Chains A and B, each alone.
Chain A
């Protein structure tokens, strides 16, 4: 008899979650040493590069304890960055318990708290694990105190481990099998399975990843997706042991995949319930809260011929990242594209990178913006997520922008720097808490627009990496908001427009002009770049032209080399956008919101 345990690891970013997952995978012998690599659950190239987890990943670990009892441990890895808390809550819906991982040197951080709430909300068993105890700066007593005081958990229950060195792993496995209950649903009764993720396999179509809450499913069954009633014949079911591994069936309590020849990507919705067509359950499982995007930006293909390809790529992408929302959009400068909503700036960057790498799309993204609200003189209210639709200024009665409550936890010594940063970012109503000795929790009401604009990176810089940060949406507040346009060579580039607070407009415009000057290559003519509000120019920079660009000699032996260089430049030019007579590279559009640590 094999027992099942479904669990997840939650932690603040960089507290060692993926390393612990690696260690558990090794300990249970799922992969031999030869095939092992770090961050083994992070399949995406970009996850490895950035050293972060973006997607939840499921893996089934076979485990036999000292008493000879057999277990199947379903581990769902989760991302730690604030932008991806949505992924965390989806992962938690398929678990009975969590390992709450805390860095022994860093202690409890903002995301630790946020993730703990999510786990408590789902009624999960919580096992605190203090990681990185091998670090010289580890302070186990301090962390234990924080667990008691800040989290309200029993610190005696905390397990000490070093995932890096492999100490304490046995204790972690024992806690998983002893403290986390088995799935409680009955094996009998009709099938109900919650879809918590999906992947696209070019050979097999859509691969649905789900947790079975009741009944069971096997190849040959006809399943029904409850949201739209579509039926599909099951071709294969199984579990993940780093690769897909077929099983005779998936039954209650298990986490695994179903392949059912679902060709239309949009048929599958994360959070939907799967049941048997012949024996359906009465009502669907409780799905997930719809996530509301907070950051908006438009995506355009670099070449307008690629519009259809981009549409297809976004469809497939969404299957794997339910948090992305998009709809058709068009711009005078960039042609047909899509207006997209994201969970945050990191989410946006990830989407951009994955579209380019995994889907081979060459895209341009516009300056991200939040959802503004305008009360007009005619009594109407308009929501504006795109600077293109900024209303005629004379009709604006009141302009409102979203505020968040930002929570920042830092060691005391960074208080001055963080206060300065928050005030600079229009933070108001500050509150200070002293959760434990030497640490400060600062809360500010801040415009969301200031946060999406490289706040997190700046915070990391001023606190030398010790600052942790989380935020919740608060409300809408009145502000003087104007539309800043950018003219390149006298032509307004709509994709570069932004809505900004009037007082911030000039510095923002200056920065934009300087950034564009760096990013737009020189041309044969002088290119003025101007920041404009209404008809008034508030900032300007100039790209000087090529004065001389010619080699002195070009005889028999130089021609091939010269042509190869031109062919390279020609290819480069294809990746740029012609606006009037100016070619603007992709990077110029991105540069307006990319961080620079100055």
Chain B
């Protein structure tokens, strides 16, 4: 059994980005209340999980926290949970927050992997994306991280929107590569429900790219980065070497247990998944009333586990084990056809998507059910 992962959702941002669907508040007034509640939540799960080998601080923007809050939070985690010695500790960072002091603090509290939300190295694009930093801020943050001795840096980028030229995207990629990041996440812009971008799309003010264009950009990105030696190990994720795969995120895709703390965080153990209230207020109220802040939980049936294993497996280069499919001749036939048309490969008893397969990963799972 693989070691479980621990996720902490820090639900605060300096500004809300108009494309982002994750839960966060643009004010830090509730930080003290949240931190108090958070400590209570940690106690709820004492001894419920094995020794963790990954810790992921996400959000929101974890780096908006004051240094002392960050320290308190980490201290609390280390006191009450057990961690493996070489635990991968990732923090999501905003270039605007990464002052010298914050960078040193991040390192000092134990983060050995920093994922910097650069999004673009083009100021005009950053403006469109509603980011609160410039390309220069990102460059400074990256230099500082390297100078602080961080040897596992990830850069998050967004592409595929009106106003970004092909050249603009390639320039951003090139500038990112100049820092030789260990990890790259390249997300095609999606219109998440209830975000300002989504509403603009509904009103016809913002149009998504044509499917053909998205396809071409995706393939080009994959090709470009693979040529530079990166491994395209998940639909939106690239790593310089397998050791730089996001250890924590891999757990989401292969049903390894994980515990999620904080508002809207999801947890999974055995065949149970549960998730917390989205709103900071409701989350705090529950814990203040000595109740778990869990909004809902579900118990997966065997069939649901199988469906998820296939669907999630098809998002990574690893694919899923052939044992997940039944030996229905019709399904084997479908499998053979998908191989012939270059969507899938079968290697070492696993069914794995090709890059072309990644592009239609949401369609593929259905092919394995009659």
Q: Which A residues have a C-beta under 8 Å from some C-beta of B?
A: 524-525, 546-557, 559-560, 562-563, 566-567, 569-570, 573-574, 578, 581
Q: Once the chains bind, are A552 and B363 in contact (CB under 8 Å)?
A: no
Q: Once the chains bind, are A581 and B334 in contact (CB under 8 Å)?
A: yes
User: How many chain B residues touch the partner (CB < 8 A)?
Assistant: 51
Inter-chain residue pair count (beta carbon < 8 A):
98
B residues 190-206 near A (Cβ < 8 Å) are 190
Q: Once the chains bind, are A548 and B343 in contact (CB under 8 Å)?
A: no
A581 to B364: give the CA distance in the assembly, Å.
14
Q: Once the chains bind, are A563 and B343 in contact (CB under 8 Å)?
A: no
Asked if B188 is at the interface of the complex by the 8 Å CB criterion, the answer is: yes
A569 to B338: give the CA distance in the assembly, Å.
19
Stretch binding the partner chain, chosen from B67-75, B82-90, B308-316? B308-316
Q: Once the chains bind, are A550 and B235 in contact (CB under 8 Å)?
A: yes
With contacts A524-B343, A563-B308, A570-B369 known, is A552 near B298, CB below 8 A?
no
Instruction: Please name all residues of chain B whose beta carbon is closer than 8 Å to the beta carbon of A524 when the two chains form the complex.
Output: 338, 341, 343, 360, 363-364, 367
Asked if B169 is at the interface of the complex by the 8 Å CB criterion, the answer is: no
With contacts A548-B360, A551-B362, A567-B307 known, is A556 near B337, CB below 8 A?
no
Q: Once the chains bind, are B308 and A552 in contact (CB under 8 Å)?
A: no
B257 to chain A, nearest CB (A): 11
B residues 213-234 near A (Cβ < 8 Å) are 214-215, 218
Instruction: Please name all residues of chain B whose beta carbon is closer than 8 Å to the beta carbon of A570 when the two chains form the complex.
Output: 307, 366, 369
A555 to B363: give the CA distance in the assembly, Å.
18
A559 to B252: give the CA distance in the assembly, Å.
8
The 5 closest A-B pairs by CB, nearest first: A556-B266, A547-B215, A552-B187, A547-B211, A550-B361
A145 to chain B, nearest CB (A): 57
Instruction: Please name all residues of chain B whose beta carbon is closer than 8 Å to the beta carbon of A562 when the two chains form the complex.
Output: 311, 362
Q: Once the chains bind, are A547 and B338 in contact (CB under 8 Å)?
A: no
Residue of A nearest to B353 (CB): A550
Q: Once the chains bind, are A550 and B187 in contact (CB under 8 Å)?
A: no
Instruction: Please name all residues of chain A whose beta carbon is closer than 8 Å to the beta carbon of B215 when the two chains form the complex.
Output: 547-548
Q: Once the chains bind, are B363 and A560 in contact (CB under 8 Å)?
A: no
Instruction: Please name all residues of chain B whose beta carbon is closer than 8 Å to the beta carbon of A573 when the two chains form the complex.
Output: 366, 369-370
| Cross-interface CB contact of A557 among B275, B362, B364, cutoff 8 Å | B275
Q: Once the chains bind, are A556 and B252 in contact (CB under 8 Å)?
A: yes
Q: Once the chains bind, are B365 and A566 in contact (CB under 8 Å)?
A: yes
Q: Sample 28 A-B pairs with CB under 8 A, ordered by A number.
A: A524-B364, A547-B214, A548-B211, A548-B214, A548-B218, A548-B359, A549-B359, A549-B362, A550-B235, A550-B361, A550-B362, A552-B236, A553-B236, A554-B252, A554-B312, A555-B252, A556-B258, A556-B265, A557-B264, A559-B273, A559-B308, A560-B298, A563-B307, A566-B307, A566-B365, A566-B366, A570-B366, A573-B370
A508 to B330: give the CA distance in the assembly, Å.
33
Please encode chain B, from 293 to 312, with 1 for each CB lying within 8 Å of some chain A CB and 0 for all others. Answer: 00000100000100110011
Q: Once the chains bind, are A550 and B311 in contact (CB under 8 Å)?
A: no
| Cross-interface CB contact of A556 among B268, B298, B333, B367, cutoff 8 Å | B268
Instruction: Please name all residues of chain B whose beta carbon is closer than 8 Å to the beta carbon of A547 when the two chains form the complex.
Output: 211-212, 214-215, 359
Asked if B269 is at the interface of the complex by the 8 Å CB criterion, the answer is: no
Residue of B nearest to A578 (CB): B330
A595 to B215: give the CA distance in the assembly, Å.
37
A176 to B252: give the CA distance in the assembly, Å.
77
Residue of B nearest to A556 (CB): B266
A567 to chain B, nearest CB (A): 7
Instruction: Please name all residues of chain A whose beta carbon is closer than 8 Å to the beta carbon of B315 when the two chains form the complex.
Output: 550, 554
Q: Once the chains bind, are A557 and B369 in contact (CB under 8 Å)?
A: no
B338 to chain A, nearest CB (A): 7
Q: Once the chains bind, are A552 and B188 in contact (CB under 8 Å)?
A: yes
